[in-house]
Amino acid sequence: MSETIIQSNAAGWQPSMTASGDSRGRRGKPDWTDIAFFLLLTAAAAYALSAYSANMDYYEKAILCGAVAGLSWMAWLWRPLRTIMIACGASALFAIWLYSGGAGLAQGDITRAESVFFLKYLFSSQSAILWMCALFVLATVCYWAGFFSRTAAWLGTVLTWGGVYAGTTGMLVRWREGHLLGPDIGHIPVSNLYEVFVLFALITALFYLYYERRYATRALGGFVLMVISSAVVFLLWYSFTRDAFQIQPLVPALKSWWMKLHVPANFIGYGTFSLAAMVGFAYLVKEHGETRSLGKLAPLFVLGAVLCAEPLVFSSGKLSATWMLYFGLGAIIVGIILAFRRPIAAKLPSLEILDDIMYRAIAVGFAFFTVATILGALWAADAWGTYWQWDPKETWALIVWLNYAAWLHMRLMKGLRGTMAAYWALAGLLVTSFAFLGVNMFLSGLHSYGEL
């Protein structure tokens, strides 16, 4: 597609970008910087293979080599990824060096996290993840303020990138901290509810930042960051009421290289489905921007309030002050957005662009969720001897898959667009949230590794 998207918005951008998302109209051949980045990743992988080969099996070595090719390709498609990966890698190596006390990257003492300034306040995994939480919440505020101030919208983007940087650094350092705790404890940090909530926030933020740049609009930041901030609230509550941030040994079923593929692919699906839902919310606000009838807005308010109430439901019936306050504030925020729908709608992208973002996000999420489901079946066959056991998590994964398969089928075969598509995407977040979180809370099964 070569047509030009011209979009003026409250963020003050004056873009003239093609539908490919590249101001040149096409990516073109890799330049020397792309080649240099590929060589840097290759050198890092070669070092890991030479230094830690004894700790990796054949499949893990293949995953490492595949990651070099995959990350290089993604960084070529979207060059800001190079900057964030280099920055996070450098910071993680600095933290690992601090843990070693200068004795070398292979050494380390986990107790230094409480005595070394930079570890205690910035680069230990828990410190970095707390910074991520704070930055994402501040970014949400700035994006909404961006409807009135161009500078605030720009600051929202900066803070979101800062949150991605802090969270990714924290996850990388957490991986190392697990190994410092003991040879049988270290593992990729995607094994429990605390870790996957961080992963969910990071993936959703990165996909949002990609679409922000591609469509040259910051007006969607407040909507998408709301779901990330909700995840942050749950993460903080779960972390400090259950000490969930503590690194624990893996349960036997998770001691597999399949986890390195299945979980990230799954959460790309969860993240993009959530992003699509919030874009659907923005679509409905845009569409009803001139509506004066409250009756037409009632379904949207009810659905928004139900989504706000989900974490309260997931608190296993314990109506703590935290979740009562969360639900109340959430319902008020939804009400305020609807009350000020006219000025908000005026600064949102066109309905066509919102519909396109929603479709693309669901398409990407569906592809990765399909791959994740297949990988999960293969993992189940390897761990339990059967591909499918109708475990609650498997059943709800199938429900999520069928929901979005139907959405895409209706769009591609029947021309689903507009209001119905937006409501469906927003309601899909209810199904996705239950599959992501609710199953682990309420339905015991082989996948129940977290509890409230």
Radius of gyration of the chain (CA): 22
Does the pLDDT of residue 450 top 70, yes or no?
no
**166 or 188, which is more confident?**
166
pLDDT of residue 18: 41
DSSP assignment of 31-53 equals -HHHHHHHHHHHHHHHHHHHHHG
Query: Alpha-carbon distance 223 to 160, whole Å?
Result: 13
pLDDT category of residue 7 using cuts at 50, 70 and 90: very low
**24 or 311, which is more confident?**
311
The stretch 144-158 carries a mean pLDDT of 94
Cα–Cα distances in Å, from 66 out to 2, 50, 79, 123, 396? 32, 17, 19, 28, 30
Does the pLDDT of residue 12 top 90, yes or no?
no
Q: At what angle do helices 221-242 and 193-215 cross, to 10 degrees?
A: 170
Name the phi and psi angles at 366, rounded to 5. -65, -40
CB 281 within 8 A of CB 419: no
pLDDT of residue 84: 97
Query: Alpha-carbon distance 65 to 45, whole Å?
Result: 7
Query: Alpha-carbon distance 59 to 62, whole Å?
Result: 5
Residue with tokens 């290289």: 257
Q: What is the pLDDT of residues 220-248, one digit of tens each?
A: 999 999 999 989 988 998 888 888 888 98
pLDDT category of residue 23 using cuts at 50, 70 and 90: very low
Q: How is the chain split into domains, by residue range? A: 59-250, 265-289+335-451
Residues of 384-421 as b/e, b for ≥16 C-beta within 10 angstroms?
eeeeeeebbbbbbbeebbebbeebbeebeeeebeeeeb
Q: What is the pLDDT of residues 272-307, one digit of tens each?
A: 999 999 999 999 999 888 655 545 555 655 555 555
Amino acid of residue 130: L
Q: What is the pLDDT of residues 241-272, one digit of tens each?
A: 888 888 988 887 778 888 889 999 999 999 99
Per the prediction, the chain carries an average pLDDT of 84
pTM score above 0.75: yes
Residue with tokens 């969910």: 200
Most confident segment among 15-29, 140-154, 318-332, 389-403: 140-154
Query: Alpha-carbon distance 178 to 185, whole Å?
Result: 6
pLDDT category of residue 183 using cuts at 50, 70 and 90: confident
pLDDT of residue 337: 86
The stretch 410-435 carries a mean pLDDT of 90
Select from 318, 395, 407, 332 the least CA-distant residue to 362. 407
CB 452 within 8 A of CB 238: yes
Length of the chain: 452
CB 205 within 8 A of CB 164: yes
